[in-house]
């Protein structure tokens, strides 16, 4: 019954993620001082990370949300659908995309192209997790990365398997029998 038993191993605990968020927030504070960036959280997976990251930021900023999905089950499908666009005007603004995980890079490649057409002053990516071994595109290089993860299916802290497990307070590897 307890979904914690579906986890093979915990990779990053909540205090570890919090510590990393403090470091990333201070880098972002320095880079975006006096720039009032738009922190653009990609729904739904990046919400816990966006919350924890930005609560440590001390500069002025604005929040926005966008939704793009490419993922069904445990394999990245490559078909990216944007179902919600940002509500703020991004033209001439400094935009920081907040993502939960970069896998093949297909999602962010599509999102980046769409956002570039709106002519932001700058566009960077902060991602909680990066799986560089899985990359299929070469145009996605996140400037800010929380943790590198091995090529295993991870859940928790926003990351889901078929919409469940997002509410786990840590990032862990899902037992294979849960999706096989
Ligand atoms: P791409 O391949 O476009 O995929 O970079 C990014 C999206 O795929 C999802 N994804 C995962 N979700 N555990 C998850 O829960 C994983 O290990 C994983 N790998 C990729 C995620 O939604 C991300 O936005
Ligand atoms: Mg996602």
* Structure confidence by residue, pLDDT tens digits, 13-41: 999 999 999 999 999 999 999 999 999 99
How much is the pLDDT for 138? 87
Answer yes or no: is the C-beta of 171 below 6 A from any ligand 1 atom. Answer: no
For residue 102, the ligand 1 atom closest to its alpha carbon is 5
Residue 111 has what pLDDT? 95
Ranges in the chain, pLDDT < 50 = none
Give the residue whose CA is nearest to atom 9 of ligand 1. 71
Q: What is the DSSP string of the chain?
A: --GGGGEEEEEE-HHHHHHHHHHHHHHHHHHTTTT--EEEEEETTTHHHHHHHHTT--S--EEEEEEEEEEETTEEEEEEEEEE--SS--TT-EEEEEEEEESSSHHHHHHHHHHHTT--SEEEEEEEEE-GGG---SS---SEEEEE--SS-EEBTTB-BTTBSTT-SSEEEEPGGGT-
Q: Which atom number of ligand 1 is nearest to the Cα of residue 101?
A: 23
Output the pTM of the full model. Answer: 0.95
């Amino acid at each position: 019954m307890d979904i914690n038993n579906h986890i093979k191993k915990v990779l990053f605990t909540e205090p570890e993620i919090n510590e990393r968020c403090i470091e990333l927030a201070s880098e972002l504070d320095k880079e975006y001082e006096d720039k009032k960036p738009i922190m653009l959280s990609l729904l739904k997976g990046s919400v816990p990370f966006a919350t924890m990251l930005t609560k440590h930021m001390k500069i002025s900023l604005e929040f926005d949300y966008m939704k793009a999905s490419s993922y069904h089950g445990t394999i990245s499908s490559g078909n990216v659908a944007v179902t919600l666009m940002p509500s703020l005007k991004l033209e001439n603004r400094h935009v920081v995309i907040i993502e939960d995980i970069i896998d093949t890079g297909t999602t962010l490649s599509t999102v980046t192209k769409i956002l570039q057409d709106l002519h932001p002053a700058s566009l960077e990516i902060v991602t909680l997790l990066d799986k560089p071994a899985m990359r299929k595109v070469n145009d996605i290089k996140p400037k800010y990365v929380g943790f590198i993860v091995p090529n295993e299916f991870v859940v928790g802290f926003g990351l889901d398997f078929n919409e469940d497990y997002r509410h786990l307070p840590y990032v862990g590897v899902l037992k294979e029998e849960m999706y096989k």
